[in-house]
Amino acid sequence: MLKYLFFDLDETLYPATSGLMPAVGERMRLYLEQRYNLDPERAHELQKRYWHEYGTTLRGLMMEREVDPQDYLDFVHDVDVAQFIEPDERLHQILAALPYEKVIVTNADAPHARRVLTRLGIADQFTRIFDIVFMEFECKPARGAYERVLNALGVRGEESILVEDSARNLATARELSIRTILLLPPNGDPSVQPARRFLDPAAHSANIECPADANLCIEEIYQVATAVRQLAAHTISASQESS
Ligand SMILES: [Mg+2]
């Protein structure tokens, strides 16, 4: 039985082309430059390496250097979200029509998440925000991040679906039986492997490429309701077949 929808926040609930995350990324670089006296190239290098090795820049800083996490989070999210994203009434309607409890699971912090949700006009659709502080900085894609969320809600992985724009965050969710919907990047992600698994290939446009860790791929967030209904229907038929 499907109960929960887990939504990633950044570049899932608003377009990746908004420029918001690049602005946050700039703040991360600036933080590295200012707090650790690094030149811009070195800061950029470090940021990239931390993201690859640890999932977030913050996690890298915590593992390899001294950092005050709250100081970092306040600094990097000090951007005016209203400059980048607009209220999205269409998304609000789509979310409101989905009869499942919706929560945010984000590697950002809750104040940033609230600002984004409020600006989009969809804050009322989410009952909880599980942020990087809740995860005790063990961020996605760490399996522990999802385990904490499942435990806090008292649900099994089978009872939830994750909606994410980052393909690398899917595998550990799948290990916990969380089904996954991947929002593909606008112009194709070179790291995404060729299509292997569709529940309903006919539902996708012909040239869509969906990685194996995704149960379904969508090309814009507005398709999420269709994808959720397909996955929910699939569970019902699968359990009927086995009984
Ligand atoms: Mg994201």
User: Does 4-15+86-242 match 20-81 in CATH topology?
Assistant: no
The distance from CA 183 to its chain's CA centroid, rounded to whole angstroms, is: 9
Tokens of 133: 């502080």
> What is the whole-number distance in angstroms between the Cα of residue 2 and the centre of ligand 1?
23
In this predicted structure, what is the pLDDT of residue 211?
83
Tracing tokens 């929560």 back to the chain, one arrives at 103
Q: According to CATH, what is the number of the domain 4-15+86-242?
A: 3.40.50.1000
> What is the whole-number distance in angstroms between the Cα of residue 165 and the centre of ligand 1?
5
> What is the whole-number distance in angstroms between the Cα of residue 240 and the centre of ligand 1?
34
In this predicted structure, what is the pLDDT of residue 55?
83
In this predicted structure, what is the pLDDT of residue 185?
76
In this predicted structure, what is the pLDDT of residue 61?
95
> What is the whole-number distance in angstroms between the Cα of residue 14 and the centre of ligand 1?
9
In this predicted structure, what is the pLDDT of residue 187?
60
Contacts of 162 (CB under 8 A, 6+ apart): 6, 8, 105, 146, 169, 170, 173, 178, 179, 180, 181
Whole-angstrom distance, CA of residue 150 vs CA of residue 169: 16
**CATH class of the 20-81 domain in this structure:** mainly alpha
> What is the whole-number distance in angstroms between the Cα of residue 229 and the centre of ligand 1?
22
Tokens of 233: 């229907």
> What is the whole-number distance in angstroms between the Cα of residue 10 and the centre of ligand 1?
4
Whole-angstrom distance, CA of residue 161 vs CA of residue 235: 11
> What is the whole-number distance in angstroms between the Cα of residue 166 and the centre of ligand 1?
6
> What is the whole-number distance in angstroms between the Cα of residue 110 and the centre of ligand 1?
14
Which residue ranges make up each domain of the chain?
4-15+86-242, 20-81
Output Rg (C-alpha) for the chain, integer angstroms. 18
pLDDT tens, the chain, 243 aa long? 999 999 999 999 999 999 999 999 999 999 999 999 999 999 999 999 998 898 889 999 999 999 999 999 999 999 999 999 999 999 999 999 999 999 999 999 999 999 999 999 999 999 999 999 999 999 999 999 999 999 999 999 999 999 999 999 999 999 999 999 999 876 655 454 433 334 444 445 545 678 888 998 888 999 999 999 989 987 655 444 443
Instruction: State pTM to two decimals.
Output: 0.88
In this predicted structure, what is the pLDDT of residue 219?
86
In this predicted structure, what is the pLDDT of residue 181?
94
> What is the whole-number distance in angstroms between the Cα of residue 64 and the centre of ligand 1?
24
